[in-house]
Chain A
Amino acid sequence: MQLKSRPSRRRVRESITALSASLLAATVSGHAQAQDSSSINNDFGPGVNYTEFDSALLVYQESGSRVLAIEPAGTLTLHGSSGAQLGMEVVFDAVSGATPNGAVPSNLTQTFMTPVKIVTPGTSGGSTTVTGSSGGSTVITLPGTPGTVSYGTRSYTVAPNVLPVDKGFNDHREGFNFSWSQPLGSISAVGFGAGYSTEKDYRAITGNARISQNFNTDNTTVSLALNAEFDSSSPYGGVPTPFTPMSGDWKKPAGKDKTQLGFVLGLTEVMSRHWLMQLNYSFDTQSGYQNDPYRILSVVGAISGEPTAYLYENRPNHRQSQSIYWDNKFDFGPSVTDLSFRYFTDDWGISSKTAELSERFDLSRSMYIEPSARWYQQSSANFFHNYLVQGQALPTFATSDSRLEAFTSLTYGVKLGFNLTQRTELYFRGGYYQQQGNGHPAGAIGQLANQNLFSGTNAAFGFIGYTWDFH
């Protein structure tokens, strides 16, 4: 048989496409082959180029007029048909309200002092016209007066039997993240990302790189991500020297840094048609300044339990932690279940367990409801102290921050989602967060036995979000 030479490297498929189209155009009369331009292409998914825009607004309010946070965020994700993906996120955060300063309540009025900087703006110079005796005129510029900066002490009082909080707490944060991921050769995906976040007294720069590989016809994915973060804290009032008394002095140095390095090893497995599982192991090490520069501990009388002094806290310079996270998604019948567990442990003595369950029900073709519950329990850091006792030797490290204390929390939430069209979704989520800690530890001295020493909080939160896909 004489055969023609092999077809050129020009794509065979393009030829077949053209040949098929002309066969059908010739034999199918009056049938529009091309897509009607007015019809909507609602195809979003693998192999399609599309863009996804997510926007959300979070409102978070702690009980007792404590912290109020409002956080709008927007994310733009560009999906390429070959599997490449570019994501960009912008977050803005405004936080205000009152936050515990670390002191314990007392049956007497307490007064606290913090530094304050008073800036008086200067006046700008003006210009005036002076007419000379000969009739000419000249413009003369008068110098302005410079502004002044003076340092002083802001003091605030706290009523008896009330948890001391600093009401002058407000801050805003802007953050930007971007990420890129794409298949590379025979590797399923490689990616990297970077982020920058800044607030009045804190700045964080993050970077990460990841690689992942699919096996078993995409039923298994193994991934490794490396991440690093560099934080600069420049607290209002300067960085206090640990265990020095709380005062209105403007402190030195002006700022301190912290570096974090870590990795996450991940395994995702399709266990069956109805069960998807993910297992992650994370390891992190942080070194540098980990203190909360605004937090103090009360030094109380050994018999009375009354505060005698307030000292700035101190935490170790290093922290190493590990965690294992296991997430399962089940799809049996009319609802989709998400059940996850996490175990965390670090060298500060904290270990914690988290269990979370959510259940999604489709109420109709375009509406779903998803109630959820989360249980969390942590042990306290080995340098946590509710208070220090006068006359006893100071420990090397101490903090009264309730976030490092032993506590249990429960979060209840419900999410309601509406698929307004095939390409847009509006959702609402609300919930309530409750913390429980030991406010009455055994051995509480003097008047402290009658006080609630737990400074954790309850909070209500609400989200509203909108997602929009387009080509």
Chain B
Amino acid sequence: MTQTPPQPATVLQRSGDDWHFMFHAMATPCELRLETNDRATALAASRAVESEARRIELKFSRYRDDSIVGQINASNGRDVTVDAETAHLLDFAANCFDVSGGLFDITSGVLRRVWKFDGSDRLASAEQIKSVTPFVGWNKVTWRSPVIALPPGMEIDLGGLAKEYAVDKALAVVQAITKDPALVNFGGDLRVSGPRKNGLRWKVAIESVEAAGQLAGLLELADGAIATSGDSRRFLLKDGVRYGHILNPRTGRPVAHAPRSVTVAAATCVEAGMIATLAVLQGRNAEKFLKREAVRAWCIR
């Protein structure tokens, strides 16, 4: 029997013209800002956001046996039938695999077995990498909606998608409750419903990659979403070279010369997150990729 661990306290308080709700989910601090004076509406929206975040966390967590991802990863080659929501996410992941030329691959999680990003200098050896690369590659998976079959030893990990997807879904549940201007932010991946009242922009602070807690800049957002892909928290440091935690599934190694942080603005959080991830995967060419694709983005090296 699995037990849900006790959740850290949630907070709902006034902040300027907003009701501000904070909670903890998907291993990150989460918040909702709603520009309203009505506490009842704020409370209803906060409950809806928290429950949607936890629903998605539980459903797609790779750590839980009872999540769909846990079931797929334990299937040992057998067919698994998934529900509509999971099917849409797998379709999205499959299409992104094609569009990115194989750089975005939800089966690359097994590389984690040999790469531990704990700030130490222990890089994986060539033998270690060779031991897991046979189990990496979405093209080896049989996916014909709604049935998926993974060859034994392979795993899928929706962690690279789930947080951004949760932001978009959480904002949708808020908008079903109220038309007040809202901002949903899960650990730096955020989206706004539109401009604040009087057409003013939301102000978002960007954390510095050098020192946690320091500000690198301030963004003003009138619409759409922002997602950040970066390594400020999870990395390896050897001989002064910083190896970010984004692994190139084709080589089995961290992306060489990846920018420390890429922040992308787009209409939805899923889109922003995917472009940010693809940009980091371009390594040295991240800025060129973003410029060529005419994306509103900021790279920090």
Contact = CB atoms under 8 A, between A and B. Distances in A.
A349 interface: no
Interface in B165-184: 165, 168-169, 172, 175-176
A27 B85 contact: yes
B199 A421 contact: yes
23 contacts: A1-B133, A1-B137, A7-B101, A11-B294, A12-B278, A13-B295, A16-B99, A19-B274, A20-B267, A20-B270, A20-B271, A21-B267, A23-B91, A24-B268, A24-B270, A27-B85, A31-B176, A41-B223, A43-B195, A43-B201, A366-B198, A421-B199, A422-B198
Nearest to B296: A47
Interface string B193-217: 0110011110000000000000000
Given A6-B101, A23-B88, A24-B168, A16 B96 contact: yes
Contacts of B96: 16, 19
Interface in B244-301: 250, 266-268, 270-271, 274-275, 278, 289, 292-296
B37 interface: no
Contacts of A442: none
A23 B92 contact: yes
Interface in A26-56: 26-28, 30-31, 33, 35, 39-43, 45, 47
Most chain B CB atoms below 10 A, which of A16, A17, A30, A422: A16
Contacts of B199: 40, 42, 421-423
Nearest to B92: A23
Interface in B87-114: 88-89, 91-92, 95-96, 98-102
Nearest to A29: B172
B194 A39 contact: yes
A4 B175 contact: no
B176 A30 contact: yes
Contact of A42 (B133, B195, B268): B195
B222 interface: yes
Contacts of B176: 30-31
B128 interface: no
B198 A12 contact: no
Contacts of B168: 24, 28
A422 B195 CA distance: 11
Contacts of A20: 92, 266-268, 270-271, 274
B223 A43 contact: yes
A83 to B, nearest CB: 12
Interface size class of B (residues with CB under 8 A): 35 or more
Contact of B99 (A3, A15, A35, A39): A15
B139 interface: yes
Interface in A251-300: none
Q: Which 5 pairs across A and B sit closest by C-beta, in order of nearness?
A: A42-B199, A422-B199, A20-B271, A13-B293, A43-B222
Nearest to A3: B102
Contacts of A28: 168-169, 172
A47 B250 CA distance: 35
A452 to B, nearest CB: 55
A13 B267 CA distance: 12
A26 B293 CA distance: 25
A365 B198 contact: yes
Interface residues of A, number: 37
A134 interface: no
Nearest to B98: A4
Nearest to B89: A23
Contacts of B95: 15, 19
A5 B294 CA distance: 23
Nearest to B101: A6
Contacts of B85: 27
A42 B201 CA distance: 9
Contacts of A19: 92, 95-96, 99, 274
A2 interface: yes
A3 B278 CA distance: 17
B198 A3 contact: no
Contact of B175 (A7, A31, A421): A31
Contacts of B294: 11, 13
Nearest to B273: A20
Most chain B CB atoms below 10 A, which of A5, A13, A42, A421: A13
Contacts of A423: 199
A17 B271 contact: yes
A15 B201 CA distance: 28
Given A4-B98, A28-B168, 9 more contacts: A3-B101, A16-B275, A21-B268, A24-B168, A24-B172, A27-B88, A35-B223, A41-B223, A422-B198
Given A16-B96, A28-B172, A31-B172, A4 B102 contact: yes
Contacts of B201: 43
B214 to A, nearest CB: 12
Most chain A CB atoms below 10 A, which of B100, B176, B194, B271: B271
Contacts of B133: 1
Contact of B100 (A7, A17, A30): A7
Contacts of B278: 12, 16
Contact of A1 (B98, B198, B200, B250): B250
Contacts of B100: 7, 12
B200 A422 contact: yes
Contacts of B89: 23, 27
Contacts of B139: 1-4
B166 to A, nearest CB: 11
Nearest to A31: B172
A19 B201 CA distance: 27
B268 to A, nearest CB: 5
A6 B271 CA distance: 20
B99 A7 contact: yes
A33 B224 CA distance: 10
Contacts of B92: 19-20, 23
A367 to B, nearest CB: 13
A11 B293 contact: yes
B292 to A, nearest CB: 8
A291 B136 CA distance: 84
Contacts of A421: 199
Contacts of B296: 47
A11 B278 CA distance: 13
Contacts of B222: 41-43
A40 B194 CA distance: 10
A12 B99 contact: yes
Contacts of B169: 27-28
Given A21-B268, A43-B222, A16 B274 contact: yes
A64 B96 CA distance: 77
B110 to A, nearest CB: 13
A365 B17 CA distance: 13
Contacts of A43: 195, 201, 222-223
A331 to B, nearest CB: 12
A11 B99 CA distance: 10
A183 to B, nearest CB: 11
A235 B294 CA distance: 56
